[in-house]
Amino acid sequence: MFEEGVFMSQFWDWFITISTVLGILACFALIILLNRGSAKPDGEVKTMGHVWDGTLEEYNNPLPKWWLNLFYITLVFSIVYLILYPGLGSFKGVLGWSEVAEYEAEMAAADKQYGPLFEKYKNQPIVVLAKDSAATQLGRSLYMTYCTTCHGSDARGIPGFPNLRDKDWLYGGSPEAIEMTISKGRGGMMPNAVANGLKTEADINSVTQYLLGLSGSQHDSAAAIEGEKHFKRICFVCHGMGGTGMQALGAPNLTDNIWLYGGSEAKIRETLTLGRKGKMPAHGEFLGEAKVHLLATYIYSLSLDN
């Protein structure tokens, strides 16, 4: 298996290299062949031998010299580039340039320039920094760079990714909990209906109606009575007997009408039926302690505004 994988890797390596070299040589050959014999020594232009309507002929005019020379320059440039930089299979080029090395060099330069700025806030309590506009502005810049894809530029989240402004925290909203979430990441999982022991559509519907009632939404009271039995038999383990959640497990509060994936009847039923899997990536190793501290400061400050 290993030898086969090595063979395939070498095959594609040579395939790319040979195809690229032949392509450049073919461009040279094509331009030379097409420009050959297009005009006689006396300057008379030959025709291609095609005639329409008796007098219309297709002439083989030579390419303008300036255009032809530019074409040759681009081909020579491509050869020089492929000698200096990666482009021929696994050949790294004479200069040994790589995207990883470029990235690491830029990050090292940035850390040298901005590192001391982040470090000076590292040992200050988040509750204090949250009132420091300079610190929160630095945290906001980190947020806009790393967090907006999931939580939105206004930090109000999108379905499946929490709103960071509403004081509803899956794992806790203390400075320490927020910093831990950013640094170590989180992984949440809601089992599907079968795993939960809800075997029929009636079971799922009854629990759905009970959850709608818990959050103060319109619901079927009769079905909710049966759903409560299922809830207190199955769901209480994570969400508590009253449905107020359990931050140690990341189990949400089901009584506050704040829903991560949507609180409509259809969405609740979908969550019960299919289950959910949430993932918050760990950023500690990537960002470092100082940046995590400032990012946690900014996020903590958002909840203070509401």
Closest CA to 301 of 203, 110, 173: 173
Q: Which residues of the chain have pLDDT under 50?
A: 1-2
**φ, ψ for residue 291, nearest 5 deg:** -70, -40
* H/E run at residue 50: strand 47-52
Buried b (16+ CB within 10 A) or exposed e, 190-203: beebeebebeeeeb
- Per-residue pLDDT at 33: 81
As given in the structure block, the two tokens for residue 215 are: 């959050």
Alpha-carbon dihedral of residues 144, 150, 154, 159, nearest 10 degrees?
180
Estimate to the nearest angstrom the gap between the alpha carbon of 298 and the chain centroid: 22
Can you tell me the distance from the alpha carbon of 208 to that of 269, in angstroms, rounded to the nearest whole number? 6
Estimate to the nearest angstrom the gap between the alpha carbon of 266 and the chain centroid: 28
Estimate to the nearest angstrom the gap between the alpha carbon of 173 and the chain centroid: 25
- Per-residue pLDDT at 91: 86
- The model's pTM is 0.70
**φ, ψ for residue 59, nearest 5 deg:** -95, 150
Using alpha carbons only, give the angle 87, 93, 96 rounded to the nearest 5 degrees. 120
Can you tell me the distance from the alpha carbon of 37 to that of 60, in angstroms, rounded to the nearest whole number? 9
Can you tell me the distance from the alpha carbon of 34 to that of 40, in angstroms, rounded to the nearest whole number? 14
Angle formed by the axes of helices 99-119 and 289-304, nearest 10°: 60
Give tens-digit pLDDT for 68-81. Answer: 899 999 999 999 99
- Per-residue pLDDT at 2: 46
* H/E run at residue 221: helix 221-230
**φ, ψ for residue 290, nearest 5 deg:** -65, -45
- Per-residue pLDDT at 224: 96
* H/E run at residue 39: none
Give tens-digit pLDDT for 224-253. Answer: 999 999 999 999 999 999 999 999 999 999
- Per-residue pLDDT at 260: 94
Record: fold of 108-185+281-304: Cytochrome Bc1 Complex; Chain D, domain 2 (1.10.760)
- Per-residue pLDDT at 45: 66
Can you tell me the distance from the alpha carbon of 300 to that of 302, in angstroms, rounded to the nearest whole number? 5
Provide the CATH number for the domain formed by 189-280 in this structure: 1.10.760.10
- Per-residue pLDDT at 1: 44
